[in-house]
Amino acid sequence: MFRHIGRKVKGLAVFICTVGILGSIGAGVALYLTKVLQLIPCLAIGIGGAIVSWWCSWVLYCIGDTHVKIERLENKLIPKPAYAEYLSANTPVRGACEICGRTTDLINARIEDQLGTRYRKVCRECFAANNCSEAD
């Protein structure tokens, strides 16, 4: 239920917007037809309520969209458990460097910077240039 909550929040925002707009217009029409209020206040309720519902759904949709993007970023920056176990062996592997893309022998490196701790397979030059340490 709580996995990938960003998509669910975005869906909730669309649902609340739709219900709010239809409810506001319906309330304005119902109040006018039952002669509870005059035309101008009924129009204000119908149109104003629809606009407020629309604006409020932007905030909720923005929260959901931000969560989706944070999940995507976490998936790129935080290593998966299986990948971390692979790095723990710390044996050189031949392949493409994850920083420069050159095909050579790779070192399992831990990079600590403003983005946090990341684990990458890098060549010796990128290892030295990025102040890496060997992965534990």
Residue of 103, 96, 22, 104 lying closest to 120 (CA atoms): 96
For the chain, the first-to-last Cα distance in angstroms comes to 35
What is the per-residue pLDDT for 83?
A: 54
Domain limits, the chain: 5-77, 81-134
Percent of the chain scoring above 70 in pLDDT: 87
SS (H, E, C) 102-114: CEEEEEEEEEEEC
Q: Residue 119 CB: number of other CB atoms within 10 A?
A: 22
The average confidence (pLDDT) of the chain is 85
More confident residue, 96 or 78: 96
What tokens appear for 59 in the block?
């905030």
pLDDT at 55: 94
Q: Is the pTM of this model over 0.75?
A: no
Model pLDDT for residues 75-92, shown as the tens digit of each residue: 777 665 555 555 555 555
39: pLDDT strictly greater than 70: yes
